[in-house]
Amino acid sequence: MLQRCLDLLAPALQERPGAVVVDCTLGLGGHSEALLARFPEARLVALDRDKEALRLSGERLAPYGERATLVHAVYDELPEVLDRLGIARVQGVLFDLGVSSMQLDEADRGFAYAQDAPLDMRMDQTTGMSAAEVLNTYPPGELVRILRAYGEEKQAKRIVSAIVREREKEPFSNSARLVELIRDSLPQAAKRTGGNPAKRTFQALRIEVNGELSVLERAIPAAVQALDVGGRIAVLSYHSLEDRLVKQVFAAGAATTAPPGLPVVPERYQPRLKLLTRGAELPTEEEVAENRRAAPARLRGAERIRESIE
């Protein structure tokens, strides 16, 4: 859905010398490269918590020189990053949430359940707990909460009972053992739907390890606040929990906050955002055929139409 993201951002960026666009999820730099190429007058600020991603994308974006500023940061640190760079407002923001292709394809990162690997799952491997540490040390009740809240796993209690039983024999270290345990612990009916039965557990562990939802809860409002009037934001989500958070922030910004019954709505109660998508836009059949990982993508966009009046 790259082209649609560029089209959504275009009115805020094209033919505007000095416009700043932020790629909050740099990854391997594909979206950033497309932004720099499409909007030759724009300056890019790109964030990623993964140092290897920064190194590789830095090589890719080197031809653009000083137009591209790459920063090692989590995307909820956007206000601090912009402050350090002396940037008061930006004209565009792009989020492409979830796991990057590089992280999925590198077996030793432990994100993919289809191949055996160390259970790491940290997007920044220099800090924080690994997925193995979560599995081996969290109390059973906390593991059940994580699987239910972040994986929407209906069989959470059954899976966690098996995890606790097995970790007492030997701590978890690799993904294949966890995948096998999940498969063995689920009833036959649960295995027949929804793809790989380990998918929801792996999603839940990844979200917990990286604090993804709590980071996103802070990041989307911060990005909206950083937008100049006329600036635009586009967000690609890959599961319902992410999309719900984005929807809530955008809907709140696009609603009036006036008490009911006012004959005229004062400026301070007027909406700050205009929604650019009707609901969440889905990838086309052609996009999914070209890239199966695009199948769950949901795109939402909004434009800043008014300053906040405190």
Q: Which residues are annotated binding-site positions for S-adenosyl-L-methionine?
A: 29-31, 48, 75, 96, 103
Residues 6+ apart with CB under 8 A from 228: 89, 90, 91, 304
Element of type H or E holding 94: strand 90-96
DSSP-derived secondary structure letter, 64: G
Nearest to 305 by CA among 260, 264, 255, 266: 255
DSSP-derived secondary structure letter, 110: -
Q: Is the dihedral of CA 140, 122, 1, 67 positive or negative?
A: positive
Residues 6+ apart with CB under 8 A from 32: 23, 26, 44, 46, 57, 61, 68
Helices of type H across 39-128: 51-61, 78-85, 101-105
Instruction: Give the residue numbers of the binding site.
Output: 29-31, 48, 75, 96, 103
The answer to whether residues 249 and 220 touch, using CB atoms and an 8 Å cutoff, is yes
How far, in Å, CA of 251 to CA of 112, rounded? 33
Q: Which residues pair with 300 in a beta bridge?
A: 235
